[in-house]
Structure 1
Amino acid sequence: MTDAPFQFFVVEVLRTERVTPAMIRVVLGGPTVSRMASAGRDQRVKLLFPQAGQSEPVMPDTTRADWYDAYREMDPAVRAIMRTYTVRELRHGPDEDELVIDFALHGGDGGDGGTPAGPATRWVRAAAPGDRIGVLAPVHEENAGYDFRPPEDTDWVLLTADDSALPAVAAILETLPPGMPARVWVEVHDRADRQELATKADAEITWLVPNPATTVTTAEAVRTAELPAGTPYAWIAGESATVRTVRRHLVGERGLDRRRVKFSGYWRSGTSEDHLLNTGEPA
């Protein structure tokens, strides 16, 4: 797989940081991180977590072109737990190369009758320096693992996301040219989960926080917004039903060219990623 655009790596936790109550940043390192590449923006990678009791993930024969088929043939109780995440930052430096991933935390321990945490959230809550995971990452900056590709004639950008897509929004905002108008809506669970988002763009960022009296959904916020004039490019990500609703509004009611609206369901309410993986259904 030396010529493959994506390759497998085993990395280890260097350090962790609590960014907000609902997000943990994990900095990963190792000698192979220097070979990774990223386009910035919404660059996706696959993370492979060890099962409970394993010191590192059990992965398929990663030299095989059909590694995914080999992975699915493995015992689900033994094989690594695979999830898709956005690269928050890839740092290449003279002293150390680092891959930064921000994890949105979902679920608890299930003891209160609430939704139990998934395997990625359980792993990151316990992550400590030296813990090892696998990564399927690109080795070329131009790759098929990112979607934010505004045409050159774009006058302004529209972004919508929830906490699952917040790391991608943060990375996208950092790449926008100075002065580029951007209208951004981000849903989070609590006011404490808002972040300072660095950008040189002319960004108007609206945080949507649940409130029994005044809750406004992303779709409602976009529907009632006054948008800039000119040629837009929209990037919509997060829960699948919300993404579809916003896209229908932008294309059907606002008249945006569907080719200039990129949408991605990061997750589906009521459905686990394991179910989607095993059935082959899209999010």
Structure 2
Amino acid sequence: MTLPVTFIEVVAVDRITPRTARVVFEAEALDDTVGGTPDQQLKLCFPRPGQREPELPAGQDDPMGWYQAYLAIPEADRPVMRSFTLRRRHPGTRRIEVADRAERQRLATRAELEVRWLHRDGAAPGALLTAAFRGGALPGGRPFAWLAGEAGAVRALRRCLVEEHGVPKSDIDFTGYWRHRLTQDDAPTAEDLADARERLG
């Protein structure tokens, strides 16, 4: 499957909390599979100063090949890239860690949903979430876990589920959406590459 590359137009930006915005856009073309499942990201490429449009990497069949194509663009022309998550409804329980109380937002859903808000208030990203996992109990039966957040926190949560709760690795879908003190312009760390290899394996 070739990963789609297209131009988009932002039609609205809504400020939800002091640190969170929802961006609404229209696309020239978008694969039918985009938005069909949870845990989907879009990589948005912004033009460099003086460019009318960003120079985009070529479409790739290899899920990891797009990043090499991106790096192949000369640095002076390479677009600034950031990840955005498609907003979807997810049934089940959500342990949601935010910077502080001002970052709480209303989550509208028709599903049965229990939400626990964890306010960092200066703590390291993922610390409260990991502690909540260690002290909590999983639902009965064979659970399936979907983890997304800061990359280091996601790794810690996954280890906790596997080592302390006995959840099989095959029953955990995980994505490190962002990295503390790093941007997507910074090279992947050894841990980032290990996570990518395991996801593809």
CA RMSD of aligned residues (A): 3.0
Matches within 5 A, 1:84-103: 84-88=83-87
For the pair 1:233 / 2:144, whether they are aligned, the reply is yes
Q: Give me the whole-angstrom Cα distance separating, in 2, the residues matched to 1:255 and 1:69.
A: 36
For 1:55, the equivalent position in structure 2 comes to 52
The 1:59–1:198 alpha-carbon spacing in structure 2 relative to 1, beyond 3 Å, is same
The 1:271–1:34 alpha-carbon spacing in structure 2 relative to 1, beyond 3 Å, is closer
Q: Runs in 1 of length 4+ with deviation above 4 angstroms? A: 63-70, 277-281
TM-score (norm 2): 0.78
Higher alpha-carbon Rg: 1
For 1:77, the equivalent position in structure 2 comes to 76
For 1:260, the equivalent position in structure 2 comes to 171
CA contact (8 A) 1:208 1:216 kept: no
User: What secondary structure is seen at the aligned counterpart in 2 of 1:219?
Assistant: helix
The 1:252–1:277 alpha-carbon spacing in structure 2 relative to 1, beyond 3 Å, is closer
Aligned AA for 2:47? Answer: P
* Structure 1 counterpart of 2:102, from 177, 188, 192: 192
TM-score (norm 1): 0.57
For the pair 1:242 / 2:173, whether they are aligned, the reply is no
Q: Give me the whole-angstrom Cα distance separating, in 2, the residues matched to 1:196 and 1:29.
A: 25
Aligned AA for 1:257? Answer: P
User: What secondary structure is seen at the aligned counterpart in 2 of 1:274?
Assistant: coil
Structure 1: gaps of 5 or more residues: 89-170, 177-181
More contact order relative to length (CA 8 Å, sep ≥ 6): 1
* Structure 1 counterpart of 2:41, from 39, 44, 59: 44
Q: Give me the whole-angstrom Cα distance separating, in 1, the residues matched to 2:52 and 2:21.
A: 21
The 1:19–1:216 alpha-carbon spacing in structure 2 relative to 1, beyond 3 Å, is same
Aligned AA for 1:198? Answer: A
CA contact (8 A) 1:208 1:217 kept: yes
Aligned residues: 188
Structure 2: gaps of 5 or more residues: 196-201
Matches within 5 A, 1:157-168: none
Q: Give me the whole-angstrom Cα distance separating, in 1, the residues matched to 2:136 and 2:60.
A: 49
